[in-house]
Structure 1
């Protein structure tokens, strides 16, 4: 079994009494993170869609990961309304898609305006939206580096490694044996670093391939590298320095991706653990006929380029293809690298 990485910057909790936790948006990340907390004995309530609640009421939550760890939570507290989820909550983990942040912030303001709020969302703008709606709350941005996919009713599988990074400050005891939270002072730079990695979500969704399979193919890696390099140029023009969120600095990753496959494999094995079942959350959204977060990822790069009089044609092309797949409603289209570049 692979040893999990240690987490520098883990705090000794200032609050030893375990909090009442609400998960705002019980999707893949929400069910996995909240489920591990519940399995560790935390008081957790999940604001869930009816189909998620029904599946978990029947079989509970089954949580697995790339390292062979498994946990089960029997009959977790799944609720359908914000009042049931948030009333009395000390901490709220916001896990909704970026497009739903403002609506969720309004619900939190109505039911738990003083709760501590942690944004476990993709993108770079969500914590700001939450702070604007919740002036009395302690709102923290966080970055979830790992991938979680729903593999069946109530079953959530983590396919990649990494620890949660959260904006520094007092937090209660929410550590679990397999879920580490690390404090950082540069959370905005971390979020931009994660956004660069998340640009690959759309390429994975368009390919309809497991992430590990895709990374073994140099043509796919070159496409990922070109997209990231384009985004890095835009961030440089905007004066944004993204932080390192993997073992390699952001500006080095495109070069690593372009390496011949045997060399890439050796280097990548030291940077990240990925199992054969991992796919991107955007792939899962297309598979289930849901709208994606393309506007919070590629869209953020395109908007930044527009503000600085530049263009991001590859990011724009990929956003267009994801929007077309959303409209078609037929799931991931299974494109080739050449078709994406066309």
Structure 2
């Protein structure tokens, strides 16, 4: 099958390399040093799903019409990427693999003639040098759309992807998006401190902040009437416990997340963006919680403060020490 992957970074590069490995004809889009590296040496994949070098066609935009496409850019880059490739995406199934809550709806708006479905990538990858992607934690990818049954397009796309990596079509995709947003609560503190996710969750002071932001975010979801989906060991029942429990008890969930990551340091996608000198998608993660809180008529001061700290690091280029982060967050946590 002819498959297009728009955005061959950590997630897109992994999808492209694994689909190439099982025999699909893959074309990717990339920019700058990443594009140059892929054209010269291919996408070099290693880590949890083995090693493979994918010699794929690459350009800044798709050059041929695919039969199936994956949009894997950062959330803030997706609208422009979709517009740039819209002519070749019209009428086909387009899988939007993104963090946050807005990506699928945005794709549906921009591609009214396409079957758009969402995908949640639960595996962890590192893309810190051009052309090379390392899978640090293997896990499933879930596809679907809306809060009902998985549409046929999601079932078919999941079947194709599952031949290359574990992938499943699921019901209540909206609820699963919200659960993934809870999983992504771990992304901000590594970006603020420069530490791995495991190091953040191993630090008592930083773990308290992650727990507080997770509790606040789950409460926002419930205020919005969300029924959380079941992914990555989290479900509606567990997240109700997180929302209601005292902080000392709720930290059991971030500790569970730490164990699931394994021993290979996981920098998280937000820190990886900073290390590559790029803007992060924090406004679509913790920032999305703040926006949803406003829509629900409630507050989200912890997530707002964390979002502001990530933007500060974006501007300054300097990470903050754990003790400084704890001190600066103290008043918010104690409020």
Fold match by TM threshold 0.5: yes
Correspondences of 1:101-140 after superposition (within 5 Å):
101-140=78-117
CA distance in 2, matches of 1:121, 1:60: 23
Q: Out of 206, 209, 216, which is 1:220 matched to? A: 206
Deviation of the 1:252 alpha carbon: 4.1
Is it true that 1:71 corresponds to 2:51 in the alignment?
yes
Deviation of the 1:312 alpha carbon: 0.8
CA offset digits 1:82-126 (Å, max 9, x no partner): 4x1xx3211110011112222223233223311210010111111
Q: Out of 284, 290, 295, which is 1:296 matched to? A: 284
Is the 1:39–1:71 Cα contact (8 Å) retained in structure 2?
no
Is the 2:29–2:59 Cα contact (8 Å) retained in structure 1?
yes
Matched residues, number: 316
Aligned to 2:7: 25
CA offset digits 1:259-299 (Å, max 9, x no partner): 699x8899557x62433221111001111221111111111
Aligned to 2:42: 60
Q: 1:273 to 1:297 in 2, by over 3 A?
A: closer
Is the 2:197–2:266 Cα contact (8 Å) retained in structure 1?
yes
Is it true that 1:153 corresponds to 2:130 in the alignment?
yes
Aligned to 1:93: 70
Is the 1:244–1:250 Cα contact (8 Å) retained in structure 2?
no
Aligned to 2:147: none
Q: 1:246 to 1:260 in 2, by over 3 A?
A: closer
Aligned to 1:46: 28
CA distance in 2, matches of 1:132, 1:216: 42
Q: 1:332 to 1:58 in 2, by over 3 A?
A: farther
Is the 2:142–2:168 Cα contact (8 Å) retained in structure 1?
yes
Higher RCO (CA < 8 A, seq sep 6+): 1
Q: 1:234 to 1:292 in 2, by over 3 A?
A: same
Is it true that 1:201 corresponds to 2:187 in the alignment?
yes
Structure 1's unaligned 5+ residue stretches are 1-18
Deviation of the 1:253 alpha carbon: 5.4
CA offset digits 1:291-313 (Å, max 9, x no partner): 11111111111112212322111
Q: Out of 81, 92, 112, which is 2:61 matched to? A: 81
TM-score (norm 1): 0.84
Greater alpha carbon shift after TM alignment, 113-122 vs 275-284:
275-284
Deviation of the 1:50 alpha carbon: 2.6
Is the 1:302–1:311 Cα contact (8 Å) retained in structure 2?
yes
CA distance in 1, matches of 2:255, 2:100: 30
Q: Out of 176, 180, 183, which is 2:166 matched to? A: 180
Deviation of the 1:341 alpha carbon: 1.0
Is it true that 1:310 corresponds to 2:298 in the alignment?
yes
Q: 1:176 to 1:240 in 2, by over 3 A?
A: closer
Structure 2's unaligned 5+ residue stretches are 145-149, 331-335
Greater alpha carbon shift after TM alignment, 315-324 vs 299-308:
299-308
Deviation of the 1:332 alpha carbon: 3.9
Is the 1:215–1:221 Cα contact (8 Å) retained in structure 2?
yes
Correspondences of 1:166-177 after superposition (within 5 Å):
166-167=143-144, 168=150, 169-170=152-153, 171=156, 173-175=159-161
CA RMSD of aligned residues (A): 2.6
Q: Which of the pair is proportionally richer in helix?
A: 2
Deviation of the 1:42 alpha carbon: 1.1
CA distance in 2, matches of 1:112, 1:237: 36
Q: 1:162 to 1:252 in 2, by over 3 A?
A: farther
Deviation of the 1:45 alpha carbon: 0.5
Q: 1:313 to 1:260 in 2, by over 3 A?
A: closer
Deviation of the 1:63 alpha carbon: 1.4
